[in-house]
Structures are given as C-alpha cells and as structure tokens.
Amino acid sequence: MSFVERFKSILIGVGIIAVGIIGLTLMIALRPEPPKEDRVELAPIVQTISVDDQSGMIHVTGSGSVGPQKEAPISAQVQGKVIRTSDHFVPGGSFRKGEVLLELDPSDYENAVAMAEAEVTQRRFEVIMAREESQIARDEWGRLKSRNPEIEAPKAGDLGSLVFREPQLKLAESALAAAEARLRDARTRLDRTRLTAPFSGQIRTKAAEIGQVLAPGQVIASLYSTDMAEIMVPLRAEEAALIDNLQSRPRARVKVGGATREGFLARIEGALDPATRSYRVVIQVPNPYLGDSPLLMGSYADVMIDAQQVDTFIEIPRLAVREGSMVWVVRDSRLHFRPIQILTQRGESAIVTAGLSSGDQLVVSTPAVVTDGMSVRTVAAR
C-alpha cells in the first residue's frame, strides 16, 4: 500500500471517530432533563415527657454511723481490792442506771466511818458542855448583878466574851463542824467502794477482775448508753437551709439493712465546715435496742429527714436540667429554652418550684444541634 493510500485510511478512521464523538455529545446535550423533586428536610426527633404538679413533703437525705448518745469511762475513786462484780460486768453486758457493777473491800472505809462517828459524838458532848458552862457564867453574873446593882456589865469585846465563855463555845462548835465534815468524807469514801452505773446501757470494754487492787483514777470499764442512739449526718449548706424549723424536731426515718426506725433531728453541731461546705446534723432514735431489729452501735444508716411542706412543685429528671437552671420544652412542634427555679436535687431528680407548668412537654434527650425555637418532632420517652 502506497503512502497516499495509508494516509487516506488514517483520515477516514479519524473522521469516523470524530463523527461519533460529535454525535454522542449532541445526544447528551439534547436529552431531556429529568424532573426535579422538591427536597424536604425532616426536623430532628427529641424524646419528651409530660410533667405534672405535685404537693407534699420535701426530704433531704444523708447517711452516717450509729453511735450512743452518751459514752464514758468509769474509774475507781478510792483504792481497794475488788471483791465482787456484777454478772453484767462483761463486754456487751447490759445494765440499768444505779446498778452496782463492782465492789471494793470496804473494811478500811467502814472503820474510818466508825472512828469519825465516835469523834462526832465526842465533839457534840463538848459543845453541850461548853453551852452549859457559858449559861452558868451568865446566870452567875445575873445573880451578882442583882445583889450589887452598881456593878457595870462587862463591856463588849474580848473581856466580855471571856466572862461568858463564848470563845470556848465557838471552839467546841468549830471542832464539831470539822468532825462532821470528816464523817461525811468517810461515808463518801465508803460509798465509793461500790461503783454504780451512771446510766442504763452496755459495757464496751472492762479492765478489772476480782482480786485486783485498784488505784484512785484507774479506769475499770468503758460504758455507753442504750436509751438513745445518735447518727451524725453531713448535709450540704443548701440542704440544711431547706429544713424549716429545727425547734420542731423534724421527723427522720433511719434505715439499716431492711429495717426502718423512726427518729428526729435533734440539733446541728458546730458551724459550717468551710472545706466541705457542709453542716453536721444529729439524728436521735429513742430506744434503739427495742423491737425485732435493734439499731446496733457502729452500723451504717441511711437517713431521710422531713425538710418542709411544699404546696406545688414538679419533679423532673436531673438529666433534663441544662446549664444549671435551664430546661427545654416543646410547644407547637418547636423547642424552647425555659429558665427554672430548682428547690433542691435528690438522687436522679430535681425539684422545680417555678418555670414549669403541669402538662408541659419536657425534652429529656439531646439532639446534635439545638437552637431556641427550632422545629422538632417528638416521641414519648420510655
């Protein structure tokens, strides 16, 4: 094939390709456009709950360890040998107020009382004699004065006192008073050989046995009362402020395990702790050991305290509270920001006293983008 023929073939091929490209371009350019569909943007879905007004008692809650109202060590007040102990004088033993827990050998103290009584008897006799002698001196002076009217009566002062034996009488009376004081002291020391319980309760620990010689001041046992239990409960400042009237002793329910006991708020201890911003309130429970479920010392208790009666409030989930004191509500398919007033928060709930109305649809979910007034679709939260 000659050069000219080959060149013609190439031109023909290129022409065919060019015609094909032009035809395809015209087909694409002249084809009819597909009908346009209007795009509808769907509003985001939010979960809502309907809120309702309530009324009733608002509570504050806390927890703490159960302890006795009174706890004290008892010590020997005189020296002596232990000769007897109560059957209840054991760790965990229960006793009543005034019960004799331990006795010391009283022999020396009984002897001291007998000697003091004898001295008092002697001193009383001396007072009687001194009074008689003083009266005799006055009688003699009276008879002398009646026989000799011109005699002047002794002048007041030391001379007159001596004439009527007044110093001797005062000395005898002072000696009697001192003897009676020694007798009281001897009897007190004798009484102290019997150690009695200052209140009703139980023995925590003991440190004395029969035959042991005790010294004054030696601790023999640690006691605690069982007629009243106390629970120290820390409350945040805002929680303590909810309690209306401490003077009325607000009711408290104390729960240990599955048992619940009734008590009351007795007092607030001390001032605000600046580190924790909390107060310590004391809950008292009378007769903690009575009943089928005794409130044992050292157990851990949950406490719910009656704070105040509120006529109208709405309880909402805490997760629905936005930015501290804001919620989202839906009205007419639009989401709105609404400020609220929170009285307190407890557990997973918040108590709202202003900003919401019964029947409001409260948003409890969080869409990706939120603006005040935006359109939303709602579904009921489960």
- Residues 300 and 328 placed together within one structural domain of the fold: no
Whether the Cβ atoms of residue 349 and residue 51 lie closer than 8 Å to each other: no
Q: How confident is the model at residue 270, as a pLDDT?
A: 76
**Measured distance CA(275)–CA(323) in Å, rounded:** 25
Q: Residue 22 falls within a domain, yes or no?
A: no
Number of residues assigned to the chain: 382
Report the alpha-carbon distance of residue 142 to residue 150 in Å, rounded: 13
Average pLDDT for 131-158:
71
Listed residue (378, 369, 337, 375) closest to 356, CA to CA: 337
Q: Give the helix ranges, DSSP H, for the chain.
A: 3-30, 107-147, 158-163, 166-191, 237-242
If DSSP codes are grouped into helix, strand and coil, which group holds residue 256?
A: strand
Q: What is the pLDDT of residues 271-328, one digit of tens each?
A: 888 888 888 999 999 999 888 888 888 899 999 999 888 999 999 999 999 987 999 9
- Domain membership flag for residue 257: yes
* Pair 368, 355 in one domain: yes
In whole numbers, what is the pLDDT of the chain averaged over residues? 87
Task: Identify the CATH number of the domain in which residue 286 sits.
Answer: 2.40.30.170
Place of tokens 């919401």: 356
- Within-domain flag for 217: yes
pLDDT at 158 over 70: no
Closest of 217, 214, 201 to residue 74, by C-alpha: 217
- Specify if 371 maps to a domain: yes
The domain boundary, picked from 282, 309, 336, lies at 309
Per-residue confidence (pLDDT) for residue 137, from 0 to 100: 75
Which residue type occupies 333?
A: S
Proportion of the chain above pLDDT 90, given as a percent: 58
Task: Indicate if 133 and 160 belong to the same structural domain.
Answer: yes
pLDDT on residue 11: 65
Q: Is 40 domain-assigned?
A: no
Cα-Cα-Cα-Cα torsion 13, 19, 24, 26, nearest 10 degrees, comes to 170
Name the more confident of 134 and 165: 134
User: Is the same domain home to 319 and 181?
Assistant: no
Residue 111 shares a structural domain with residue 154: yes
Q: How far apart are CA 65 and CA 63, in angstroms?
A: 7
Calpha distance 128→314 (Å, rounded): 88
CATH of residue 348's domain is 2.40.420.20
- The rounded distance, in Å, linking the Cα atoms of 13 and 73 is 120
Residue 372 pLDDT: 93
| 202 and 249 share one domain | no
Question: Domain residues for 243?
Answer: 59-69+226-309
pLDDT value of position 163: 60
Per-residue confidence (pLDDT) for residue 13, from 0 to 100: 67
28-48 pLDDT, tens per residue? 666 666 665 556 568 899 999
202 and 86 co-located in one domain:
yes
Q: Are 63 and 233 in contact (CB under 8 A)?
A: yes
Let me know if residue 288 belongs to a domain.
yes
Adjacent-strand bridge partners of 47: 379
Q: Which residue has the tokens 């009484």?
A: 191
Report H helices in 101-199: 107-147, 158-163, 166-191
Number of domains in the chain: 4
Quick one: pLDDT at residue 252?
Answer: 94
Order of strands across the sheet that contains 213-214: 194-196, 100-104, 80-85, 213-214
Q: Where residue 75 sits, what CATH number does that domain have? A: 2.40.50.100
Contacts of 283 (CB under 8 A, 6+ apart): 64, 230, 231, 233, 252, 254, 263, 264, 265, 266, 303, 305
- 201 in the same domain as 89: yes
The pTM of this model reads 0.67
Same domain for 111 and 178?
Answer: yes
- 220 and 181 part of one domain: no
Q: What are phi and psi of 20, to 5 degrees?
A: -65, -40
Is residue 266, in this structure, part of any structural domain at all? Answer: yes
Half-sphere exposure of 338 (CA within 13 A, CB side): 21
Task: Please tell me whether residues 330 and 364 are part of one structural domain.
Answer: yes
Residue 20's pLDDT is what? 66
16 within domain boundaries: no
Asked whether residue 344 carries a pLDDT value surpassing 90, the answer given is no
Tell me the per-residue pLDDT of 211-257, one tens digit each, with 9 for 90 and over.
999 999 999 999 999 999 999 999 988 888 888 877 788 999 999 98
What is residue 208's predicted lDDT score, i.e. its pLDDT?
94
Segments in 204-319 forming alpha helices (H)? 237-242
The set of long-range contacts for 118-123, using a CB threshold of 8 Å and a minimum separation of 24, is: 119/179, 119/182, 119/183, 120/176, 120/179, 120/180, 120/183, 122/179, 123/172, 123/175, 123/176, 123/178, 123/179, 123/180
Side-chain-side CA neighbours of 222 within 13 Å: the count stands at 5
Residues 167 and 292 in one domain: no
Q: What pLDDT digit, counting tens, does each position of 89-125 carry?
A: 999 999 999 999 999 999 999 999 999 999 999 999 9
